[in-house]
């Protein structure tokens, strides 16, 4: 049982055990001597320090004094020392738990304030509890309100790249094997060797237009030539860019060409670094003009694809990396084209790695179109891509493609009103500028490029736009759009480089009756390379290879038994 009394000097209320009744103690606050009275007779007794200790007779219990006994029962017997110690221990636990949580989330706090707070709580445990007022902890005003965020060491946040995609190859051709196959593709030229007759005709018509002559006269002029017939000419509004796209194309192409000109004739790695620094001005930021900083990434795609797809492997890898930072669907389509047409297995795998993190709806049609490409390796690449990307939603379209005829077989074309055959052709990029672009009539026109002069060395890359001497074309007008480009060797190329750019595209070449009859009399094939690529994709995606092993899938397996021949066509 506790005896309660008040110090006559500092007025502090104290609680002392009843076992010390009749003894003298010192006040814990002011050290004044106090005599502890009997528990039954001297509750809340105010002692005078000068008085002698009370006699033991007064400490004897007097049960006959009932009023004082009632006063004793009214005071609750509570151990405030125990309560204060428990509260201090709880605060210490909360503070310790907070410190541990902050350490786990890589946050830091100066150790001195926390240690001072813990030390203050430890001192409070040894003090006699004050019943009138609770201790206050005044925060240090020099400390920030929020804990500062700090970066974790590099070793703790080391990036672990995902496992590379495993591409199941349908053939073992490397990039050099594919390049040699492309050497056998038919080459088309604007002018005959050592003659510039067609070039002079186009330039004369551009300088002195006749009455009623259209501005885009080049496609109509060249379409009548039998050797150039069937090319996919772009006419009217489809061949010319608007003002803003043309400005973006000019700005981007100049930046890229300047970056390549600064390291011309340097190692490939330095060229790739220069191009990368031009496209990236920080993590994920690509800029050309300050006012187009936010939407510049998507406008770089046309120029980057046109200029960088034909460069060496390190530069093409930079192109794939750049397209991976662009969230537009046009970037996904560009990556799908790289997965189809790039000759390097590694570059195609890099493009598929980026596509695996994107929606298949953005690139599926590009890969399906690749299955009908007349050059068989492209169809193989398309099938490999669909399998690696696990695009099972493409199965209905694949089953329909498996019933299509051979893409290189002759068929009747309504526009040309003759039988035609799909054919892959190539065009030398340096000697056929006027075949693909309109001639430039003034320096104010957009995206001007100088036509190389035969028997003269090529100008430096940095002078591609700035020079005013010679004949120019405008790249904002494009009549022919290549599918892909490859560097190929050229004989007797001096003074030009021996490795020159060739653009590859597909045309519908008209064939005569005799050739059509000759092709029709050939023994029909049970299958063809493009169909085998389609069947490979169906087998891998569906896990049902029984039909594919027979060469031609059964209509019951592909779900087309109710379609008419016109639908299949």
Co-location of 445 and 483 in the same domain: yes
Structural domain contains residue 164: no
Domain assignment present for residue 389? The answer is no
Residues 120 and 192 in one domain: no
Q: Are 54 and 182 part of one and the same domain?
A: no
- Asked if 65 and 93 sit in the same domain, the reply is no
pLDDT of residue 239: 92
The rounded distance, in Å, linking the Cα atoms of 147 and 109 is 6
Q: Give the per-residue pLDDT at 269.
A: 87
Q: Is there a domain that residue 395 lies in? A: no
Domain shared by 44 and 99, yes or no? no
> Do 291 and 433 reside in the same domain of the chain?
yes
413 is a domain residue? yes
Structural domain that includes position 10: 2-77
- Measured CA to CA, the distance from residue 478 to residue 285 in angstroms comes to 29
Same domain for 70 and 117? no
Same domain assignment for residues 44 and 108: no
Q: Is residue 564 part of a domain?
A: no
Tell me which H or E stretch contains 188: strand 186-188
Query: Which mean pLDDT values do the consecutive 10-residue runs of the chain (569 residues) have?
Result: 77 78 80 75 46 46 50 54 82 84 59 45 44 43 44 45 67 91 95 82 89 87 91 91 89 87 82 85 42 58 91 93 89 96 95 94 96 96 95 96 93 89 95 92 85 82 63 92 95 90 96 82 81 95 59 43 41
CA dist 471 and 196 (Å) reads 13
382 is a domain residue: no
Residues 281 and 267 occupy one common structural domain: yes
pLDDT at 549: 40
Do 411 and 476 lie in a common domain? yes
Q: Do 19 and 33 belong together in one domain?
A: yes
pLDDT at 236: 86
Q: Within a domain: residue 223? A: yes
User: Of 473, 488, 516, which residue sits at a domain end?
Assistant: 516
Cα–Cα distance, 308 to 338 (Å, whole number): 11
pLDDT of residue 531: 95
- Domain tally, the chain: 3
With beta carbons less than 8 A apart as the criterion, state whether 487 and 501 touch: yes
Chain centroid to CA 235: 35
pLDDT for 150: 44
Place of tokens 């009997």: 38
Residue 426 has phi, psi (to 5 degrees) of: -135, 155
Of 29, 47, 77, which residue is a domain's last?
Answer: 77
> What local confidence, expressed as pLDDT, does residue 471 receive?
85
Specify whether the CB–CB gap between 376 and 424 falls below 8 A: no
Whether 505 and 434 share a structural domain: yes
Angle between helices 268-279 and 313-324 (to 10 degrees): 20
Question: How does DSSP classify residue 157?
Answer: G
Cβ(547)–Cβ(557) below 8 Å: yes
């Amino acid at each position: 049982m506790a005896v309660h009394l008040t110090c006559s000097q500092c007025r502090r209320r104290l609680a002392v055990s009843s076992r010390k009744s009749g003894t003298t103690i010192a006040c814990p606050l002011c050290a004044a001597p106090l005599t502890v009275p009997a528990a039954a007779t001297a509750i809340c007794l105010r002692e005078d320090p000068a008085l002698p200790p009370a006699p033991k007779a007064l400490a004897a219990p007097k049960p006959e004094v009932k009023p004082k006994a009632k006063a004793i029962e009214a005071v609750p017997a509570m151990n405030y020392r125990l309560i204060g110690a428990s509260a201090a221990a709880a605060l210490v636990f909360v503070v310790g738990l907070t410190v541990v949580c902050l350490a786990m989330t890589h946050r830091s706090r100066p150790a001195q304030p926390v240690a001072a707070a813990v030390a203050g709580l430890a001192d409070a445990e040894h003090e006699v509890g004050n019943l009138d007022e609770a201790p206050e902890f005044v925060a240090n005003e020099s400390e920030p309100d929020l804990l500062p965020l700090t970066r974790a060491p590099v070793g703790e946040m080391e990036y672990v790249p995902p496992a590379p995609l495993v591409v199941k190859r349908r053939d073992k051709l490397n990039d050099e094997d594919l390049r040699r196959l492309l050497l056998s593709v038919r080459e088309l030229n604007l002018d005959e060797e050592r003659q510039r007759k067609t070039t002079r005709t186009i330039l004369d018509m551009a300088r002195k237009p006749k009455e009623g002559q259209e501005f885009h006269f080049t496609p109509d002029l060249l379409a009548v030539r039998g050797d150039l017939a069937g090319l996919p000419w772009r006419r009217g509004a489809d061949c010319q860019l608007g003002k803003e796209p043309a400005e973006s194309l000019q700005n981007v192409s100049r930046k890229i060409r300047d970056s390549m000109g600064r390291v011309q004739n340097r190692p490939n790695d330095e060229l790739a670094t220069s191009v990368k620094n031009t496209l990236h001005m920080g993590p994920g930021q690509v800029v050309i003009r300050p006012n187009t900083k936010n939407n510049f990434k998507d406008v770089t795609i046309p120029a980057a694809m046109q200029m960088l797809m034909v460069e060496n492997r390190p530069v093409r890898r930079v192109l794939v990396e750049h397209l991976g930072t662009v969230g537009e669907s046009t970037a996904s389509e560009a990556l799908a084209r790289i997965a189809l047409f790039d000759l390097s297995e590694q570059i195609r795998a890099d493009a598929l790695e980026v596509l695996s993190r994107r929606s298949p709806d953005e690139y599926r049609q590009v890969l399906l179109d690749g299955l009908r490409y007349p050059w068989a390796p492209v169809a193989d690449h398309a099938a490999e891509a669909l399998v690696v990307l696990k695009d099972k939603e493409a199965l209905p379209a694949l089953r329909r493609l498996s019933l299509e005829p051979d893409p290189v077989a002759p068929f009747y074309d309504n526009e040309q009103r003759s039988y035609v055959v799909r054919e892959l052709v190539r065009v030398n990029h340096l000697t056929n500028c006027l075949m693909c672009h309109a001639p430039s009539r003034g320096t104010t026109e957009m995206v001007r490029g100088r036509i190389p002069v035969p028997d003269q060395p090529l100008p430096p890359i940095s002078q591609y736009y700035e020079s005013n001497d010679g004949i120019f074309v405008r790249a904002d007008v494009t009549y022919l759009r290549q599918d892909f480009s490859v560097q190929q060797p050229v004989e007797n190329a001096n003074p030009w480089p021996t490795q020159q750019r060739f653009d590859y595209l597909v045309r519908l070449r008209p064939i005569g009756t005799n050739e059509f009859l000759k092709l029709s009399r050939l023994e029909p094939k049970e299958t063809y390379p493009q169909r085998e690529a389609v069947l490979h994709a169906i087998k891998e995606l569906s896990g049902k290879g029984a039909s594919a092993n027979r060469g031609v899938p059964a209509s019951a397996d592909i779900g087309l038994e109710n379609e008419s021949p016109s639908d299949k066509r």
